[in-house]
A and B are shown apart, each in its own frame.
Chain A
Amino acid sequence: MTIFSLRGVRKRFGVTTALDGVDLDITPGEVLAIIGENGAGKSTLLNVMAGALAPDQGTVSLGTADVAYIRQELSLFPHLTVAENILMGREPSRFGVIDRAAAAARTRALLDEFGRPEISPDDIVGQLSPATRQVVEICRALAANARLILMDEPTSSLERADVVRLFASIRKVCARGIAVVYVSHFLEEIREIAAQALVLRDGRSVWSGSLDEIADEVLIRHMIGRPVEAVFGDAQPRTRGEVVLAVQSLANATFELHRGEILGIAGLVGSGRTELLRALFGLDAVGHGEVIIRAERLTAQRLSPIDVIQRGLGYLSEDRRVEGLFPHLSVRENLTMTRLDGRDIGAWIERLRIKAGDIEDSVVTLSGGNQQKVLIARLLHQGAEILLLDQPTRGIDVGTKAEIYDLIRALAAEGKAIVMVSSYLPEVFGVCDHLAVMNRGGLSAVRPIDAWTPDSVLEAAIGGGSVAA
């Protein structure tokens, strides 16, 4: 029995084809994962399913299903209470006056039924944790009697414990016969929550079926259209040059970085990796410690972005939307923000293979992966020799990831020194040549990558701190 199906759905925006013939069937109580690179058409597909976009061709059979769409971060009212959020648009009322007792009882019942009685209907949503906010969104979908819930990368801002809770929530929803469409980049997560999957590539559904019957490598090959070994590529030979950056007791970290080196920093979310990079770049003041940048000694108090930029540092934030991009400005303006000389930026566009219609177009017209490339190009354009990259492939599709890995390695081979913070172990082992692990604000000793194993990294990340240098 299907509650929702699409047949031959096509959608164009101007000259670009976002969806080029998508077929899909959903049965009650199932979790269907939609996988694909950025720009594969996942968001467009969700919008068509939610009824927010009309397809140019093809049929959308809604069946009896009511669809609720849980977007990445946009769909709550931060100033209002849990009860107000859950019942928004369907408040119990008499002659336009809200029946507050009924509203509170309805919310209470939903939260209890959902197994989260500790959430109060009167809590202000803006003050809740991201995971609790998602529970509010799910309860809103339940209040609307949705038969199909669409989730667009619901775990991108969640820690592991919250992911587990979210998955428990999803299973509860499914037990009631409600179907869930789950979009994510994380294959491990998808296998955990979904039984069925649909792979999108260039707007087409290229594979669909049971996840039990397909290996990761095959899945990725469907996503990117080439074998998975190509993702990390071949390492170019590199020579480790002189020390260009020495950090001494800054934010509880001491390490040296050599020219031509890719130093990975692993650790749990919240272990202080981002704080270290921010302190190093002078974005957050830290009390003590010092840094030697290319033989020049700077105390912690003297670090400021303008000073370290002039000395050849470049910083890529983990949150490109908030701390990286100027959304109203063009690709060219974004790229040249730290060095206004706009000549030969075409060379960067070409070298990084940035797919942009026109460099004068607003940077937000680019896909996430290409936006990230623009930000890396900004660092190269400003002439940074020491690159601090905080989760450079976060929220980026597999194809672009591979290009960014290639680029990072090529830059190191040219003699740049790179610090890369990463939460993704395969990428750490695939790209870095040295590694240190952050644990509760303290950084372990730097060791060659061959001296680490995934187990020892994990142990250092969650252990009692005995590994700290």
Chain B
Amino acid sequence: MSVAGSSTLRRLAPFAGLALVILVFAVLTGAPEQYLSIPNLRIVLAQTVIVAIGAVGMTMIIVSGGIDLSVGSTIALTSVATALTIDRSGSPAFAIALAILLGAAVGAVNGLVITTLRVVPFIATLGMLGVARGVAKWAAGEMTVAAPETWINELAVTFPSQAWMVVAPGVWITIVLAVAASLALQRTVFGRHVFAIGSNEVAARACGIAVTRMKVAIYALAGSAFGLAGVMQMSRLRQGDPTVAAGAELDIIAAVVIGGGSLSGGQGSILGAMIGALIMAFLRNGCQQVGWPNYIQEIIIGAIIVIAVALESRARARN
């Protein structure tokens, strides 16, 4: 009983954190009606899209006991690929499909290096961080890639041109993706095996789970999410930029961890990661509204990551 109670409490902790952040900044800005206004919420949500989509993929990887440091570079690479493809083919749909496939391919390579070459995920994806960034710059000719105006540019805008959408199409896409991924993790055999591998890889093997194949699939699936995040990145900038999203991996990992993900695997949830992404977006936005400089934001976000994990490990120790 008490176990169930405390684990429910732990699940609610990220929500409480989000509420606290919103409350504190609503007061600090001195203009809660402005901070919580629909236009400002649209801004926050539109800013969250890229980190949130990345966090969907990263949650799967972290739950399985892995890590992917190459997200930022993958986003840059796929944003360049999107811009180049629109420019060459004129087909936005084709460009999106290609970006997602490219992201999946990058992830599959990570997965293969980790499983067949037995390189630990941290190192394998650290390598990919450099390789993907380099390829992005090479493909873009070390410049930003201009793309003709298409509906892709509408995906991640702050204020959608169709008023009935309320928020940017990208936000709706993120929500659908998050719900789908959450169901996949919680309700399917695939998801169960992702948790199993992260909880005890040796036992997973002994239970007849194809660990190698699963890992490649997990990194590839997450990579396809990173590819979609690259499309959103291109949409926001309206061009492909090979230098964009440097350091995004840290925000994305932080979102997963603030949301209850454990870097030792076996724990984490998509919902938690989404809340984690929102906490950071509200913080950034709040700091801007209060007029605090960038470095203050960085200090606060850094402190919050540590506090969130410290609280989590205290709760675990009490169990």
Taking a contact as CB atoms closer than 8 A, the residue among A52, A71, A77, A127 that contacts B196 in the complex is A77
Q: Are B266 and A98 in contact (CB under 8 A)?
A: no
Q: Are A89 and B207 in contact (CB under 8 A)?
A: yes
The count of residues in chain A whose C-beta lies closer than 8 Å to any C-beta of chain B is 24
- Among A78-86, A241-249, A370-378, A406-414, the stretch that binds chain B is A78-86
Residues of B within 8 A of A77 (CB): 195-196, 199-200, 203-204, 266
Interface flags for A64-103 (1: CB within 8 Å of B; 0: not) read 0000010100111111100010001111010011101000
A248 to chain B, nearest CB (A): 33
Q: Are B187 and A124 in contact (CB under 8 A)?
A: no
Q: Are B189 and A80 in contact (CB under 8 A)?
A: no
The secondary structure that dominates the A interface is loop
Q: Which 3 A-B pairs have the closest CB atoms?
A: A79-B266, A89-B207, A77-B199
B150 within 8 A of A: no
Known A-B contacts: A71-B206, A74-B202. Give 20 more (CB < 8 A).
Answer: A52-B206, A75-B200, A75-B203, A76-B200, A76-B203, A77-B200, A78-B199, A79-B198, A79-B199, A79-B266, A79-B267, A80-B195, A80-B199, A80-B266, A84-B196, A88-B203, A90-B208, A96-B189, A98-B189, A124-B7
Q: Are A74 and B203 in contact (CB under 8 A)?
A: yes
B200 to chain A, nearest CB (A): 5
A123 within 8 A of B: yes
User: CA of A60 to CA of B203 in the docked complex: distance in angstroms?
Assistant: 23
B179 to chain A, nearest CB (A): 14
Residues of B within 8 A of A98 (CB): 187-189, 192
User: CA of A122 to CA of B8 in the docked complex: distance in angstroms?
Assistant: 13
User: CA of A32 to CA of B194 in the docked complex: distance in angstroms?
Assistant: 36
B positions within 8 Å CB-CB of A: 3-4, 7, 187-190, 192-193, 195-196, 198-200, 202-204, 206-209, 266-267, 319
Residues of B within 8 A of A78 (CB): 199-200, 266
A positions within 8 Å CB-CB of B: 52, 69, 71, 74-80, 84, 88-91, 93, 96-98, 100, 122-124, 127
The secondary structure that dominates the B interface is helix
Q: Are A88 and B319 in contact (CB under 8 A)?
A: no
Residues of B within 8 A of A123 (CB): 3
Q: Are B3 and A124 in contact (CB under 8 A)?
A: yes
* Given A96-B189, A97-B188, A123-B3, A80 contacting B196 (CB threshold 8 A): yes
B186 to chain A, nearest CB (A): 9
Q: Are B189 and A84 in contact (CB under 8 A)?
A: no
Residues of B within 8 A of A69 (CB): 206
Residues of A within 8 A of B206 (CB): 52, 69, 71, 75
User: CA of A89 to CA of B192 in the docked complex: distance in angstroms?
Assistant: 9
Q: Are B266 and A91 in contact (CB under 8 A)?
A: no
User: CA of A71 to CA of B187 in the docked complex: distance in angstroms?
Assistant: 29
B313 to chain A, nearest CB (A): 14
Between-chain CB contacts (< 8 Å), 14 pairs? A74-B203, A76-B203, A77-B204, A78-B266, A88-B204, A93-B189, A96-B189, A96-B190, A97-B187, A97-B189, A98-B189, A122-B4, A124-B3, A127-B319
User: CA of A80 to CA of B204 in the docked complex: distance in angstroms?
Assistant: 12
Residues of A within 8 A of B266 (CB): 77-80
Residues of A within 8 A of B198 (CB): 79
Residues of B within 8 A of A76 (CB): 200, 203
Q: Are B188 and A88 in contact (CB under 8 A)?
A: no
Residues of A within 8 A of B208 (CB): 89-90
Residues of A within 8 A of B203 (CB): 74-77, 88
Q: Are A127 and B204 in contact (CB under 8 A)?
A: no
Least CB separation from B206: chain A residue: A75
Q: Are A96 and B196 in contact (CB under 8 A)?
A: no
Residues of B within 8 A of A100 (CB): 187
Q: Are B202 and A75 in contact (CB under 8 A)?
A: yes
Residues of A within 8 A of B200 (CB): 74-78
User: CA of A90 to CA of B207 in the docked complex: distance in angstroms?
Assistant: 8
Of the candidates B196, B198, B200, the one having the most CB atoms from chain A within 10 angstroms of its own CB is B200
Taking a contact as CB atoms closer than 8 A, the residue among B187, B190, B192 that contacts A88 in the complex is B192
Residues of A within 8 A of B267 (CB): 79
A125 to chain B, nearest CB (A): 9
User: CA of A71 to CA of B203 in the docked complex: distance in angstroms?
Assistant: 9
Least CB separation from B3: chain A residue: A127
User: CA of A74 to CA of B319 in the docked complex: distance in angstroms?
Assistant: 21
Q: Are A84 and B192 in contact (CB under 8 A)?
A: yes
User: CA of A75 to CA of B188 in the docked complex: distance in angstroms?
Assistant: 22
User: CA of A88 to CA of B193 in the docked complex: distance in angstroms?
Assistant: 8
User: CA of A84 to CA of B188 in the docked complex: distance in angstroms?
Assistant: 12
